[in-house]
Amino acid sequence: MNTENNATVTSTAVVETPKSVTTPAQIKSPINFGAQGVKLASLEDAFRFANAIVASGFAPRGMEKPEAVLAAIQLGAELGLTPMAALQNTAVINGRPAIYGDAALALVRASGLLESFAEEEVGEAGKDSFGVRVSAVRRDGSKGSETFTIGDAKAAKLWGKSGPWTDYPRRMLKFRARGFVLRDVFGDVLKGLRTVEEVRDFPEERNVTPLSEKVSGGLTMSITQGGAT
């Protein structure tokens, strides 16, 4: 009697796992969005957001480049402003960053350090004695008071100057006195920044640095090379 042996053959498929997986450059990590808008968690996030602002046309005059928008966002972050609030309430004038007077007061009020604040007109209307007195008191008891008059504006060669000084003279007197007081009493809140209303009256500064020594393209190049655009 012959016995036939059946052999069972098993086939095994070998699947090779790639040593590395390359993520396409166009795929980026998402930027979180919450109740107050975007949540920028990195420099790359901020630069992507800055590019979006420029492309949207929302960038204020003088901030038409992503680098300028990014700098405004950084400045606002140091002051406690959200990205969009920073864009609307800060400006660079003659190379000097500044904050608008209304935003400066808002930051001081939001800080919780303000005990009292008052603005009042003084002197006789139309005379050099006319002006605005601004007083502020901190919760720790420190205080300050400043008065800026038509006479002061004339001495500074501001009175009658074309622009806001002729269009809104009362407000300009108030903003100048307000800026002095807030910077003196709440310099820690404003990080020493002057108000836009004051800085735009400064004489324009000239950059005497030779062209060959000026830095150009560094920030954009370093970020784009990192895949943030």
Q: For 61-75, what is each residue's pLDDT tens digit?
A: 888 899 999 999 999
Digit-coded pLDDT (tens) for 176-191: 999 999 999 999 999 9
Digit-coded pLDDT (tens) for 14-69: 555 545 444 444 446 677 776 667 778 889 999 999 999 999 999 888 888 999 99
Quick one: pLDDT at residue 27?
A: 46
Quick one: pLDDT at residue 10?
A: 54
Q: What's the predicted TM-score (pTM) here?
A: 0.70
Quick one: pLDDT at residue 166?
A: 95
Contact 79, 190 (CB under 8 A): yes
Q: Name the token pair of 127.
A: 């005379």
Q: How many residues does the chain have?
A: 229
Give residue 106's Cα distance to chain centre.
15
Contact 131, 147 (CB under 8 A): yes
